[in-house]
Amino acid sequence: MFLLVVGHSHRFSAMQPTFRRLIETINRYFKEVLYAVGELRNEMIKPPSTETNMKITSNGRFNPYFKNVMAAVDFDLRFTYVLAGWEGSTHDALILADALERDDGLSVLAGKYYLVDARYAARPGFLPPYRGTRYHLKEFDSRNYPRNSRELFNLRHSSLRVPIERAFGALKNRFKILYSKPFHPYKTQVKLVLVCCILHNWILQFGNNQHVPLEAKWRANVRDEDDLGDIEEDNRGMAQIRDDVATDMSLNQKKPTLAIKSKPQN
């Protein structure tokens, strides 16, 4: 019953004829499963390993520049931190501040940093792309190479953002209740977000990935962020780290080469 609710957004009244149970009974067992799965949060949603992910170490475009990255979604599409309950209109920076101030909140290990989108300022432990510079993958086709170090940095930053989009795409595919008109109390809605992320991680670990969108599909569909609103000023130290990474990338980039055909001599 619980999976029908979260997976297909079925209402209790619609399931009553199928399971031949009172709505009160369905509601009671729904809450019991909700709380039971929620108790797995510390086991199924936890910070990633301090070891650099193979998707980074095995790719010269990212290693060593992004080897210290952690994310709320890791490179295996698993959620490593979830904070639900804020209104959709709240600025991302305020939500991040709340996550950092909580006793059990988001933490940044020494020498690590999170990749964040352009709505955040550069600050210790958080590395956004350059604003006002080409960023989206669709802007860099085979004939439109990055023209400078900032564009190159943004291109690779955008590539590493794809796992986040795919993870949320998988949530949307699996748990229709997250994208349907809510019919549960607000506190239950908050718990449902966490529980769906727990189930998502469990399925990736023990199940299959049939609901995970293909990477090729999402590489061309990273969301635009034209309306960024008010952004706090970048931290100079973190902005300098970003500049250093961008410069190092540019110096080590393999330039595209043109094949020159020689004319046969008579």
Q: Which helix (H) or strand (E) holds 114?
A: strand 113-115
Whether the per-residue pLDDT at 226 is higher than 70: the answer is no
Mean pLDDT score of the chain = 79
Q: pLDDT tens for residues 180-192?
A: 777 888 888 889 9
Percentage of the chain beyond pLDDT 70 is 74
- Backbone φ and ψ of 75, nearest 5°: -75, -5
Judged against a pLDDT cut of 80, whether residue 27 lies above it is answered with: yes
Determine the Cα–Cα distance for residues 66 and 56; give it in Å rounded to an integer: 7
Q: Residue 145 to residues 26, 122, 155, 162, 177: CA-CA distances in angstroms?
A: 57, 25, 10, 19, 41
User: At which residue do the structure tokens 């300022």 appear?
Assistant: 121
Q: Read off the pLDDT band of 59 (50, 70, 90).
A: low
Q: What is the pLDDT of residues 68-103, one digit of tens each?
A: 444 488 888 899 998 888 877 778 888 888 889 988
Whole-number Å distance between alpha carbons of 183 and 177: 9
State residue 257's pLDDT score: 42
Q: What is the DSSP letter of 47?
A: P
pLDDT score of 248 more than 70: yes
Amino acid at residue number 235 = N
| Domain ranges across the chain | 40-251
**pTM for the structure as a whole:** 0.75
Residue of 164 and 70 predicted with greater confidence = 164
Flag whether pLDDT at 133 surpasses 60. Answer: yes
Q: Does residue 41 sit in helix, strand or coil?
A: helix
CA distance 248 to 265: 43
Is the predicted pLDDT of residue 118 greater than 70, yes or no? yes
Q: Beta strand pairing status for 126-127 and 69-70?
A: unpaired
Task: Find, among 2, 74, 81, the residue nearest to 41 by Cα.
Answer: 81
Q: How far, rounded to the nearest angstrom, does the alpha carbon of residue 37 sit from its chain's CA centroid? A: 22
